[in-house]
Structure 1
Amino acid sequence: MAAEPAEARFPVMGSDGHLLVTGGSAPQLLSRARSRLEELESLWSRFRPDSELCRLNASQGRWVRLSEPTATLVRQAVRAWQATGGLFDPTVLPALEAAGYTHSFPSLPRDLPPTVTPPPAPAPGCAGIEMADYRVRLAPGVRLDLGGIGKGFAADLVAQELLAAGAEGACVNLGGDVRATGAAPGAGAWTVAVEDEARPGTDLAWLALADGAVATSTRLRRRWERQGQRLHHIIDPASGAPAAGAVATVTVVAGQTHWAEVLAKAALIAGLPAGRALLEAQGVAGLLVTEDGTAHRAGPWERYVTWTPNSGGTSPASAG
């Protein structure tokens, strides 16, 4: 039975970070994990001109040598583009900027001034990206945003590094993208709350994970307006415009956080019923919530659920 976990909360990657560690030298492990997350943010942020991502985006068709985590993340992003048939696409950065997402979200005005922008255009896709070991070459005109996979990949990486450094268990939560592994507090599984994005501060369900990941993609959280038009950060690669449709939020349970994050975004863009079919074809569990609040389950969702608002009783304490 693992003891009560040590924990730390801090802002990172434009989100709220929450780390839980059981066993080992917890204070040192938490400090190491926080430093690692800050290092990864410095490599992958599109808002830091000296980041590796910004250097890659400015390379204008030249080969760029990257660090191991950045090169691996780019490789995983391209694989995700292939696996989702282009629904997940890291080349949407120009479309994100055209929509007005040009600063980190905390500093982004919620009502942008009028501006002349080109009409939305489809994302170029990843077919022209070349990779060799830790070197990457982008096709001319292609620039990457890794925000749809980076937090999940960081959670996966840091959770495994915590175990390798001596932790008995770890739960890494980056803005609701959660990786839980190893010994949970008490004798049971890790418990992860799924927030109701339409009603902040309330939950849709509580999930039990022995070892796995949960990620949520929503167009209800990072939103702003320009000239009366409501915009958000989930870009449909096929149109280059913020995704429209009935599905507002998707939560996915998978083995790895970055894969759950990718599939949640892809299913939201695909909508119903295609998004549900995508999750079931990938063998993962999911919950797709439409704008009217209707929840549509995909795959073995009920296998993980331990509590819902309609199940009665008192919700358990969260471990993530």
Structure 2
Amino acid sequence: MIRLPQLLLNATFAIVAWGQSSSNASTFTNPILSKGGADPWVIRYDDWYYMTYTTNDDVTLLRSQVLTDWDSAESKVIFTPPPSLNYSTDLWAPELHHLDGAWYIIFTADPHNDSPSPEVDMYCPYNCPAVYHRMYVLEGHGSNPWSADFVYKSQLNTYDQFAIDGTYFQHASGLYHIYSCWYTQYAAWPANLCITKLENPWTVSSPFSERQIISVPSLPWEKTPYGRVENDRLSSNEGPQQLINEKTGQQFLVYSAARSDNRNYCLGLLELAPNGDPMNPSDWRKHQYPVFYQNPSESAYGVGHASFVKSPDGSEDWIVYHGMQDPNNGWSARTIRTQRFSWNEDGMPSFPKPGYGPYQDPSGQ
């Protein structure tokens, strides 16, 4: 065997190592926030990414110039509710929106740490710990969300019924509130998707008689356990998010289905008919299979509650979501991840299998 001089051999190793380092510098691995988290909402504004997620006790805002590393992000609490109010505990799934020149954060909360008294719980056919959860709105004014001062604005009317995971749906016909709801005040299950028309970001204009249910968990993968038939307990549609195909103009609603603390949590898809009315349930078409779901080969389970954002140069679409590696640990096991997605020829979003990477960094990062 021909032996290279040691100096040349060392130089060869150095070149290879440099090449590996250079390649690795342009990749990332999931999760993108190592301390854990759930219900991520990310937007991009003026060269910054902004994230909110469930912290339970407050609304925390993070900002980062890269999408794939939130451990190094700046962070500040922008709202801590006073005690003993209807929205003082269990703050879930905050979302940050820029509407009509102002910043709005929509979130859900309750007054009793998710624990109704026996006098209330007895009305539910199944245990209903979230019976007091309602939707609330913060308003902020400023050139960007980081400099805005947020104040409590209002409760969003959900007719004194359970409401979680609310989002704004923007349409040519106006602004709408879509959220997870029950049929009645004490129904407990299933959790459906409801829609109401808004007068402005904090005021519902629809009377209760016009509230519409646009999706119920009717398919096997929307139920927990999979395909449950004897009752609707743990059957859920929640976490709705608007997604628009910018090339075709198709309007989608991506939502989470099944149960958020176990392996079967996944994403489903509703599509609004061309020129459809968001308040008309028959104008929404549910796709019969989940579009994003567990990947046991990579121990990626319970993937759901997503938001969508562009790469820094605007050329790519990215999904930000939570998932778990060990489904036996339930909600505490959730961490926040991101991956690139694309579009099919029919205009449908095409999501990848969830995993940990390494993946190529977003374009322009």
Which of the pair is proportionally richer in helix?
1
Answer whether TM exceeds 0.5 for this pair.
no
TM-score by length of 2: 0.28
Higher normalized strand content (fraction of residues)? 2
Larger-Rg structure: 2
